[in-house]
């Protein structure tokens, strides 16, 4: 099984905002969410929902699938690091 290093979608969002010179507060106001929500995503404390993926897509141009795939890959990488390692394949 190949393991890739997953990046929290908040890190990608933070980098994107920095590149564009957009503040977290400005993005939050633009997509009608609380600034705290954007800050929590950027700090890796909150994930990206389907609704947030749509809003980010509309504001920043990347597809909703891009944001959701980042979230999915992050969640899978975190699950893989935890208890999942202890599960062995079942014999038929």
d(CA 65, CA 58): 12
Which position has the higher pLDDT, 42 or 5? 42
Token match 């979608």: residue? 9
The pLDDT tens digits of the residues spanning 17-45 come to 999 999 999 999 999 999 999 999 999 99
Per DSSP, the residues of the chain read --------HHHHHHHHHHHHT--HHHHHHHHT--HHHHHHHHTTSS---HHHHHHHHHHH-S-HHHHHHHHHHHHHHHHHHTGGGGPPPPP-
Averaged over 49-75, what is the pLDDT? 97
């Amino acid at each position: 099984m190949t393991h890739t290093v997953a990046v929290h979608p908040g890190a990608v969002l933070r980098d994107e905002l920095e590149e564009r010179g957009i503040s977290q507060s400005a993005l939050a106001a633009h997509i009608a969410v609380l600034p705290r929500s954007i800050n929590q995503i950027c700090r890796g404390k909150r994930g990206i929902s389907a609704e947030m993926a749509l809003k980010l897509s509309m504001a920043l141009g990347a597809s909703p699938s891009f944001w959701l795939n980042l979230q999915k890959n992050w969640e899978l990488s975190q699950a893989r690091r935890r208890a999942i390692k202890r599960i062995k394949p079942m014999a038929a």
